[in-house]
Amino acid sequence: MVHANQRFFILLDTPVPQYCLQITNDELPSEPTSYPEASKDPQWRHAMAEEFNALLKNHTWSLIPPPSNCNIIGCKWVYKVKQKSDGSVERFKARLVAKGHHQQEGLDYDDTFSPVVKPQTIRIVLSLALSKEWPIMQLDVKNAFFHGTLNEEVYMLQPPGFVDPLYPSHVCRLRKAIYGLVSKLQWLSSSLGFSF
């Protein structure tokens, strides 16, 4: 006698083709681990130029002579191949990341708190909205991280491969946040009108 809650497992010597899924990354280009490696490929050079131009357009930094008695942190490029849902290449993404682990507390930053919503809070708000039949909408702030202004003065070396030939010894005084920094951001208070 077979009960409804019993499960049967059938062992097959060979897999049934319609139940098989093959995933391979053989066709995906490799992701470089350093600027010298990436600079050899025109697709990665283009991706770095796109990111660099976006940072300039956002007025992320200004070039100044290196101030005395300050900590100047480095930066590096991080590379990622973005894929479409079918596994093919969507685009090459290069991101400039500050070496925030070199920042010194009290000199480069004072506070690292960032407000984060707990999952329980989201569930409560969604439950309340459903019970009251309120409409639910989602909002995504594109590159929200880059809209944050910095309270502290942070100095960074010029990005590898993008050193200004007129000012090669200058450093970047960051006006806006970039990935890798330890400093908390103030984009909530300046952009949305409230703070924590």
Domains in the chain: boundaries: 27-192
Q: What is the number of residues in the chain?
A: 196
Give the C-alpha separation, 177 to 182, whole Å: 10
- Per residue in 46-98, pLDDT (tens digit) is 999 999 999 999 899 999 999 988 888 889 999 999 888 888 888 999 999 88
Give, rounded to a whole angstrom, the gap between the first and last alpha carbons of the chain: 64
What average pLDDT does the structure give for the chain?
77
Average pLDDT on 167-188 reads: 78
Higher per-residue pLDDT: 132 or 111: 132
Q: Are 92 and 67 in contact (CB under 8 A)?
A: no
